[in-house]
Amino acid sequence: MVLVAACAAPDVRVPDAVETSPAGQAQLDAALRDAAWANDVEQARRLIASGANVNAKDQTEQSAYLITTSEGYLELLELTLVSGGDVGSLDSYNGTGLIRAADRGHAAICGRLVQAGVSVDHINRLGWTALHEAIILGDGSDRYVDTVRVLVAAGADLTLPSQNDQVRPLAHAEDRGHDRIVDLLRAALADRTTRAEADRALRTAAAEGSADGVAIALRAGADPDVLAERPTDAAALRLLDHLGHP
């Protein structure tokens, strides 16, 4: 769960000269966080070039990198990652950027973080993983279904219970009436596809227009390069795009 004091940022001014003092660095870092809240990519680029640290946190444990994950700013996330963004960085809830993104249903952010090597099953201070947050805090709409597909494809532990109540993801989805997520989790839990069978399963799912099937095949280790043609199903296309297989 992500709680933020404010998303609106004041006008951001790049310091006239790069300073090496702690106060000067703190000024640069604060300006970068303001630019991140404003989703001002060019300003952020200039500040980073001037020495601002994308991982530097304020008193609420927000950094420019972490802000991009909760707010869904994909272009800015890319900039922070190439500028040293730490996917292991944690917020005030001991949560990763992946957990923050899943909370908001930012499937594309989740996919990019998976590509960057984020821990998929990290547990935050609430006892939740990214999968728990997408189900418990989500509304079961397309954005959250897409997010859960990304997590399933990435190999998230589907049986790990939320720590405080020991309820598993499927039960959370059933309790909340997230029917499409329920169907996806049931299919993934029942799947016995081996790595040797995964490529064929992926081709079949893509041909049938099954985004859930594509996620499950990827989970089994399928290579997206075996697809001779792009799937026609929009949700399957989004999933492949989110995981870096355009």
Per-residue pLDDT of the chain (246 residues; tens, 9 = 90+): 444 433 434 444 544 444 469 999 999 999 999 999 999 999 999 999 999 999 999 999 999 999 999 999 999 999 999 999 999 999 999 999 999 999 999 999 999 999 999 999 999 999 999 999 999 999 999 999 999 999 999 999 999 999 999 999 999 999 999 999 999 999 999 999 999 999 999 999 999 999 999 999 999 999 999 999 989 999 999 999 999 998
Mean pLDDT of the chain: 93
Please state, in angstroms and rounded to a whole number, the distance separating the CA atoms of residues 170 and 186.
7
Report pLDDT for 20. Answer: 63
Report pLDDT for 43. Answer: 98
